[in-house]
């Protein structure tokens, strides 16, 4: 029976379909895996365990869905926008966007709590955040609704403070920035948008085009975009179906009356807000309907001064506006060559409308000059327009294929007299807008079960659409809901699946990396947005639906996609919060009491015969901070030296710079520059009330606990503690094929074989498991060299695992990490025995 070692040096083919798990002739087979869950690929080849998603806030209404959209004004001014049922909220720098703060001077232990806040700006129903209160700390970091407001006070609606700690001092409040929007819960995932500087235009077929404006760093407004002079449907010239215009005056902004004659009834109440154009000879008037009287009479507002020839009250030909509640509104939008482009309205689903050029985005006055607005209908007998996408050319996505719009003269811009639209791709699309990934435009096919990449094919002189899911069709089989693209530090297309998993397509074209991976959590991902952070990496925001204490909750959570694995960044739990007690103010211990460990002449720590550190007889009892730092609330906390092993319990408060200590473990120096407050009780976990949470404290895994009253209690105080919901990361190999034996015995597929051992090369890893058949082998997180009160060091190197493998025709191995710890897998060497008889 031959024995052989098989080395897998990279995992850049991702998760492959079971339909190819016998295709050992398939080049990507040997870099692929049957399962890659909650790992991210590195372009160099390894798998890196994904970081957890940090809790930011509950959505405004957890009983309804919310959708995230992206707004990037500048590298340092990027926002994720929560679009819910009739509202928008904003997130920046991994926190809610708040309006200006006010100062709190009092809070009552009453039912309800009454806040004193002199000359506050709030109204009843406003939602605020309270922070930095001393004493009644139960208020800090939580949302409250303002009620019974007076000039200098207001109540916290429904909050019984009779059991709270007494208010001492301080505190601020800030209103959560929220604006009303026209979109209903059922519509939010169909909203499409484009951005130009600090303005975002949004479209949905049930609503007028919206204009979202960033007014200041913490202030946004939204209103109907004021489209000027069009677009309009074909002019009505039936002599008996004319309209008459009357008014008291004829200046821009004035009102008049538009009356239909000849027995026709063109108006409905749904025309309010829509445009109308009347003409007499060459004179034209542009009107907006502002009120409905009857099917023959409406009130209009003049969009500009009315020409004299139209002030006679005689009858005129007319054109109805393309967009109104009576006809529907655009569903697709793009900015291309300094024009705003709209399409997808229900009454003209294959017509595309171009604004005037030179960024005159809201002017749709049609003409024949190169800069004028114009419209064109694509030559397709079926297939409504679902999206528009600006690249080197304008792509027009329909359910029947993808069209390319460009000028007929090479290199020229689109004009009313020069536009060429041809269908290049026969694979239609859904209404999920595409994303540009590298040089390729990626879009979901109309079933939302495939992702295709649009690229130019020089041989056919046409664009083609490659199926990127052909060897991993199961990844998108449940259907996709939303796409977002991450550029840094990895090139990843993030997609929400309809079953609540995240499907991630990693694409590094120059490294020939194209691979699918899956992310799961305790709950369901419902929306995703990727925005640039202040350090120029991308942050992944998500709406996550979770069941907490038997109740449905929807949370806004964010992931830092970095590869740092220090204690501060060891965030391998979801919906997590972090207690970080690190401080920057230097402490000086009282050296007169002898606080040092004893050293030999070479500077080595002296140990007694039992291996304990030898210390001077007395212990320090006082510590002084370089500036005011301490409060009475610090009594009971510990001080930990992060550069050494010193620990002390604060037993009494003296003043802002001095406290009394009991030394728990001697310090190496009287001066502490890198230290932290360590605590046993972690509070503020109300969003996980009743949930079992995983805990990483100072780099070590702590036994799971159940959150009670928003808190957990540790057996040992921690300086940096991450608390959240566990998730499992798994990579499972394809059925192993002994390539080196293929010329001797042929393929090992179908032959009895077993995995005897596996040598796994790890980096920055702590613990884990290996699963082979029914055998589970635990990888120890600690070695005998680790002291129990020290953080176990991360492992770099090879771990040889005896799998206890059993005989079978299909041999596979899984590597699993289900603790709150990191894991990076660089390679796996399998030692296989094959029965070739």
- 754/690 same-domain check: no
Q: What is the largest CA-CA distance in the chain?
A: 113
Task: Note whether 168 and 290 are same-domain residues.
Answer: no
Q: Are 752 and 713 within one domain?
A: no
Residues 752 and 801 in one domain: yes
Distance CA 324, CA 326 (A): 5
Q: Do residues 752 and 642 both lie within one domain?
A: no
Cα–Cα distance for residue pair 295/287, rounded to 1 Å? 17
pLDDT at 837: 67
Same domain, 743 and 718: no
Name the phi and psi angles at 634, rounded to 5.
-80, -15
Number of separate domains in the chain: 4
Residue 805, domain extent: 3-50+733-834
Tokens of 192: 């499409």
Say yes or no: 721 and 787 in one domain. Answer: no
User: Are the CB atoms for 202 and 194 separated by under 8 Å?
Assistant: no
676 class by beta-carbon count within 10 Å (0-12 exposed, 13-18 middle, 19+ buried): buried
b/e map 633-670, b = 16+ CB within 10 Å: eeeebbbbbbebbbbbbbeeeeeebebbbebebbbbbb
Residue 210 CA to its chain's centroid (Å): 23
Kindly report the pTM of this predicted structure: 0.92
Q: Is the peptide bond before 112 cis (omega within 30 degrees of 0)?
A: yes
Q: For residue 479, is it within any domain?
A: no
Q: Let me know whether 763 and 689 are in one domain.
A: no
Any alpha helices (H) in 159-252, and if so which ranges? Answer: none
CA distances from 115 to 84, 158, 686 (A): 29, 13, 22
pLDDT at site 617: 44
- The answer to whether residue 313 is domain-embedded is yes
Residue 124, classed as helix, strand or coil, is coil
325 phi and psi, to 5 degrees?
-65, -25
702 lies in the same domain as 756: no
Q: What DSSP state is assigned to residue 734?
A: P
Low-confidence ranges of the chain (pLDDT < 50): 593-596, 598, 616-618
**Is 307 within 8 Å of 322 (Cβ atoms)?**
no
Closest CA to 526 of 176, 15, 59, 52: 59
* Contact predicate 345/385, CB 8 Å: no
SS3 476: helix
- Tell me, what CATH number does 784's domain have? 2.60.120
For residue 540, how far is the Cα from the chain centroid?
Answer: 4
Q: Are residues 712 and 741 in the same domain?
A: no
State which of 176, 200, 227 marks the end of a domain. Answer: 176
Tell me which of 161, 176, 191 is where a domain ends. 176
- Whether residue 62 lies inside any domain: the answer is no
Helix (H/G/I), strand (E/B), else coil: 79:
strand
Q: Of 253, 288, 320, which residue is a domain's last?
A: 320
* Cα dihedral 452, 454, 456, 460 sign: positive
User: What separation in angstroms does the CA of 256 have from each of 119, 155, 300?
Assistant: 45, 49, 5
In a domain, 401, yes or no: no
**Element of type H or E holding 658:** strand 658-665
What are the residues whose beta carbons fall under 8 Å from the beta carbon of 746, sequence distance 6 or more? none
* Inter-residue contact 173 to 165 (CB < 8 Å): no
> Per the domain annotation, does 830 fall within a domain?
yes
CATH number for the domain that contains residue 150: 2.40.30.180
The DSSP secondary structure of 46-110, one letter per residue, reads -EEEPPPPEEEEE-S-TTS--EEEEEEEETTEEEEEEEETTEEEEEETTEE-EEEEEE--EE-SS
CA atoms within 13 A on the CB side of 512: 4
Task: Decide if 220 is inside a domain.
Answer: no
Q: What is the pLDDT of residues 134-169, one digit of tens each?
A: 999 999 989 999 999 999 999 999 999 999 999 999
Dig out the tokens for 97 from the structure. Answer: 């966007």
| Best CA proximity match to 819, nearest among 689, 707, 682, 696 | 696
Residues 697, 759, single domain; the answer is no
User: Has residue 298 been placed in a domain?
Assistant: yes
Q: Specify whether 599 is located in the same domain as 684.
A: yes
Q: How far apart are CA 373 and CA 383, in angstroms?
A: 25
pLDDT on residue 655: 92
Side-chain half-sphere of 335: how many Cα atoms within 13 Å? 15
Is 157 a member of any domain? Answer: yes
């Amino acid at each position: 029976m031959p024995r052989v070692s098989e080395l897998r040096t990279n995992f850049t083919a991702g998760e492959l379909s079971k339909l190819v798990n016998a295709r050992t002739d398939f080049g990507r087979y040997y870099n692929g895996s049957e399962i890659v869950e909650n790992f991210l690929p590195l372009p160099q080849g390894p798998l890196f365990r994904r970081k957890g998603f940090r809790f930011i806030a509950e959505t405004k209404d957890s009983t309804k869905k919310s959708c995230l959209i992206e707004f990037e004004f500048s590298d340092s001014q990027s926002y994720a926008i929560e679009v819910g049922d009739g509202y928008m909220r904003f997130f920046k720098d991994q926190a809610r966007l708040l309006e200006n703060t006010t100062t709190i001077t009092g809070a009552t232990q009453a039912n309800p709590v009454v806040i004193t806040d002199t000359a506050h700006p709030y109204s009843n129903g406003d939602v605020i955040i309270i922070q930095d209160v001393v004493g009644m700390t139960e208020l800090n970091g939580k949302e409250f609704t303002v009620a019974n407001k007076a000039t200098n006070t207001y109540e916290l609606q429904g909050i019984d403070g009779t059991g709270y700690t007494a208010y001492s001092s301080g505190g601020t409040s800030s209103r959560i920035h929220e604006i009303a929007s026209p979109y209903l819960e059922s519509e939010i995932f169909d909203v499409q948008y484009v951005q130009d500087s600090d303005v975002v235009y949004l479209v949905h077929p049930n609503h007028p085009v919206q204009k979202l404006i960033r007014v200041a760093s913490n202030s946004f407004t939204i209103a109907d975009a004021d489209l000027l002079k069009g677009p309009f449907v074909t002019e009505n010239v039936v002599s008996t179906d004319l309209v008459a215009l009357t008014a008291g005056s004829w200046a821009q902004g004035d009102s008049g009356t538009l009356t239909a004659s000849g027995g026709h009834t063109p108006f409905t109440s749904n025309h309010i807000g829509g445009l109308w154009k009347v003409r007499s000879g060459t004179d034209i008037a542009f009107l907006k309907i502002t009120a409905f009287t009857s099917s023959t009479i409406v009130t209009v507002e003049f969009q500009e001064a009315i020409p004299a020839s139209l002030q006679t009250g005689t009858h005129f030909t007319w054109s109805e506006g393309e967009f109104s509640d009576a006809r529907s509104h655009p569903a697709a939008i793009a900015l291309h060559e300094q024009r705003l482009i709209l399409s997808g309205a229900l009454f003209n689903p294959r017509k595309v409308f171009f604004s005037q050029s030179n960024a005159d985005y809201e002017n749709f006055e049609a003409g024949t000059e190169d800069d004028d607005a114009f419209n064109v209908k694509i030559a397709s007998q079926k297939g409504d327009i679902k999206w528009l996408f600006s690249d080197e050319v304008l792509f027009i996505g329909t359910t029947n294929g993808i069209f390319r719009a460009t000028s007929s003269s090479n290199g020229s811009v689109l004009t009313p007299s020069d536009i060429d639209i041809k269908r290049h791709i026969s694979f239609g699309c859904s209404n999920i807008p595409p994303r540009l990934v590298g040089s390729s435009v990626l879009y979901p096919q109309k079933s939302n079960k495939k992702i295709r990449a649009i690229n130019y094919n020089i041989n056919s002189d046409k664009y083609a659409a490659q199926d990127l899911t052909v060897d991993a069709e199961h990844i998108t089989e449940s259907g996709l809901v939303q796409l977002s693209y991450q550029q840094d530090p990895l090139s990843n297309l993030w997609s929400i699946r309809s079953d609540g998993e995240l499907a991630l397509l990693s694409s590094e074209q120059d490294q020939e990396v194209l691979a699918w991976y899956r992310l799961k959590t305790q709950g369901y991902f419902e929306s995703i947005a990727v925005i640039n952070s202040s350090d120029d990496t991308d942050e992944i925001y998500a709406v996550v639906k979770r069941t907490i204490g038997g109740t449905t909750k929807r949370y806004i959570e964010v992931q830092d996609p970095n590869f740092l694995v220090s204690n501060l960044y060891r965030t391998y739990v979801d919906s997590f919060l972090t207690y970080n007690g690190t401080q920057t103010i230097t402490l000086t211990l009282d050296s007169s009491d002898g606080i040092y460990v004893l050293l030999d002449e070479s500077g080595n720590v002296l140990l007694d015969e039992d291996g304990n550190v030898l210390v001077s007889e007395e212990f320090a009892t006082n510590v002084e901070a370089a500036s005011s730092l301490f409060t009475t609330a610090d009594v009971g906390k510990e001080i930990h030296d992060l550069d050494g092993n010193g620990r002390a319990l604060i037993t009494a408060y003296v003043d802002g710079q001095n406290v009394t200590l009991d030394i728990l473990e001697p310090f190496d120096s009287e001066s502490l520059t890198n230290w932290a407050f360590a605590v046993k009780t972690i509070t503020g976990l109300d969003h996980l009330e009743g949930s079992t949470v995983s805990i990483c404290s100072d780099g070590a895994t702590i036994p799971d606990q159940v959150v009670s009253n928003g808190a957990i209690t540790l057996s040992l105080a921690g300086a940096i503690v991450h608390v959240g919901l566990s998730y499992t990361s798994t990579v499972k190999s394809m059925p192993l094929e002994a390539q080196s034996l293929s010329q001797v015995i042929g393929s090992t597929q179908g032959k009895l074989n077993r995995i005897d051992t596996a040598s796994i090369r790890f980096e920055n890893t702590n613990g884990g498991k290996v699963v082979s058949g029914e055998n589970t082998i635990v990888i120890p997180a600690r070695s005998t060299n680790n002291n129990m009160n020290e953080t176990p060091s991360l492992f770099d190197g090879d771990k040889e695992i005896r799998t206890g493998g059993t005989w079978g025709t299909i041999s596979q191995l899984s590597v699993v990490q289900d603790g709150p710890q990191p894991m990076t897998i660089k390679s796996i060497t399998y030692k296989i025995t094959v029965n070739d008889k």
